[in-house]
């Protein structure tokens, strides 16, 4: 059962994680997890730290996956699972998870950054032409920059 203490530990863990202090984050998330082993937040973040800091990849995958099964709509859980896949050396799995997470939060900068770092790119606009073809380059830039702006303006005016 989630208590005030476990909530405080979880909040501290997230702060330590932002500060890149994995040892302290792991300890804080572990305390929160031990108080409530069913809370999806605790599962996801403890699993992430167990995989990245303690090297327990299998356990981390299990916990992160369990969190997603409980609350499949939270993009941060997909980010955590993707990071665990990367720690396991599973680039394809990480890409798949990040793409799935973007369905729930399309503007998630962290997942986009990971996908770019992993070299993931969408298909070219005209598949018959090469990616380097000037027509494909122009259309790709046009669609990527112009179309989202058009849709944003429509939503604001509605």
CATH number at residue 103: 1.25.40.10
Q: pLDDT at position 111, please?
A: 94
Nearest in space to 44 (alpha carbons), one of 6, 8, 83, 3? 83
Q: Are residues 86 and 113 in the same domain?
A: yes
Q: Are residues 48 and 107 in the same domain?
A: yes
Q: Are residues 116 and 130 in the same domain?
A: no
Q: Are residues 141 and 115 in the same domain?
A: no
Query: Tens of pLDDT along 57-69?
Result: 999 999 999 999 9
Q: Are residues 100 and 144 in the same domain?
A: no
Instruction: Residue count of the chain, please give it.
Output: 158
* Distance set, CA 154 to CA 8, 43, 101 (Å): 42, 39, 25
Query: Tens of pLDDT along 119-132?
Result: 876 677 788 888 78
Q: How far apart are CA 88 and CA 55, in angstroms?
A: 9
Exposure class string for 8-25: b at 16+ Cβ within 10 A, else e: ebbebbbebbeeeeeebb
Q: Are residues 22 and 79 in the same domain?
A: yes
Q: Tokens in use for 123?
A: 């298909």
Q: What is the mean pLDDT of residues 1-13?
A: 88
Total-model pTM: 0.77
Question: Which residues constitute the domain of residue 88?
Answer: 4-121
Q: Are residues 111 and 147 in the same domain?
A: no
Q: Are residues 29 and 59 in the same domain?
A: yes
**Average pLDDT over all residues of the chain:** 89
Q: Tokens in use for 129?
A: 């032409």
Q: Are residues 115 and 130 in the same domain?
A: no
């Amino acid at each position: 059962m989630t208590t005030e203490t476990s909530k405080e530990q979880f909040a501290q863990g997230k702060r330590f994680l932002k500060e890149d202090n994995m040892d302290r984050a792991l300890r804080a998330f572990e305390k929160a997890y031990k108080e409530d082993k069913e809370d999806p937040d605790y599962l996801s973040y403890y699993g992430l730290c167990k995989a990245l800091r303690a090297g327990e990849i299998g356990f981390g995958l299990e916990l992160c996956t369990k969190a997603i099964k409980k609350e499949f709509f939270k993009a941060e859980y997909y980010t955590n699972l993707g990071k665990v896949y990367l720690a396991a050396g599973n680039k394809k799995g990480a890409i798949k998870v990040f793409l799935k997470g973007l369905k729930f939060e399309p503007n998630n900068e962290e997942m986009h950054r990971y996908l770019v770092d992993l070299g993931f790119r969408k298909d070219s606009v005209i598949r018959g032409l090469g990616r380097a073809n000037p027509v494909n380059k122009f259309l790709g830039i046009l669609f990527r920059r112009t179309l989202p702006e058009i849709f944003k303006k429509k939503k604001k005016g509605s």
